[in-house]
Amino acid sequence: MRPEPGGASDALLDRARAGDARAFEQLALEIERPLYRHAARMLGHDDAEDCVQDALLSAWKSMASFEGTSFRAWVFRIVTNRALDRLRSRKRHPELPLDPPAENDDSASWAEPVATGHELADLAADREALRVVEDALANIPADQRAALLLRDVEGFAYEEIATITSTEIGTVKSRIHRGRLAVRNILISRGWKGSTG
């Protein structure tokens, strides 16, 4: 969906590996906004900037040891891990919100749409609907949210998401499906009847 940049970025990657700071900065600039988008949806806007900046600095420090081919996937892995670490740290503080209850994890529960409502396909242009989707994403478990965002927003393949989140492909498949289903159910609960496809 969003392929790794081409030959020019490969050359930049080689230069960055060799310690060229400007090459690294150019590579980082290309993915700065997607990284922030991902972190902001994982953590909220307040922590997202620090998370991305820390991750990019960490990437620069470890650049010489990077042996993969996808700089983008590698940095997304760092950002995702840091975001999940921060979320775990929040969970240790009782005043901060926890992940939602496990009932959203039930992939077998398909909420039935009410009789009157909008079709999902009509919602894309509706700002209110997008706000509902954002709320829904914020209320699903963090590991599902990470997998869903990496797939539906960033366009990573399941294999890449497995690498980024350090899990098996089967786990990625399950998380994405449960996450989508949870968001779908929240939308249905807000009155939309879903698409008849």
Q: How many residues bind another protein, per CB under 8 A? A: 55
Residue 29 binding another protein, by CB under 8 A: yes
Amino acid identity, residue 75?
V
The answer to whether the CB of 42 falls within 8 A of the CB of 83 is: yes
Measure Cα distances from 75 to 6, 52, 88, 104, 122 in Å: 17, 9, 20, 29, 34
- Closer by beta carbon to another protein, 73 or else 176: 176
181: closest CA among 84, 112, 125, 104?
A: 104
Which residues have a Cβ under 8 Å from the Cβ of 75 and sit 6 or more positions away? 28, 31, 35, 55, 56, 59
Q: Which of 9, 13, 24, 80 binds another protein (CB under 8 A)?
A: 24
Within positions 138 to 197, which residues make up the interface with another protein, using CB under 8 A? 148-149, 151-153, 157-158, 169, 173-174, 176-177, 180-181, 183-184, 187, 194-197
The answer to whether the CB of 81 falls within 8 A of the CB of 37 is: no
Residue 87 binding another protein, by CB under 8 A: no
Residue 73 binding another protein, by CB under 8 A: no
The answer to whether the CB of 165 falls within 8 A of the CB of 147 is: yes
Q: Which residues make up the interface to another protein (CB under 8 A)?
A: 21-22, 24-25, 28-29, 32-33, 35-37, 40-41, 45, 48-49, 52-53, 56-57, 60, 107-108, 110, 119-121, 123-124, 129-130, 133-134, 137, 148-149, 151-153, 157-158, 169, 173-174, 176-177, 180-181, 183-184, 187, 194-197
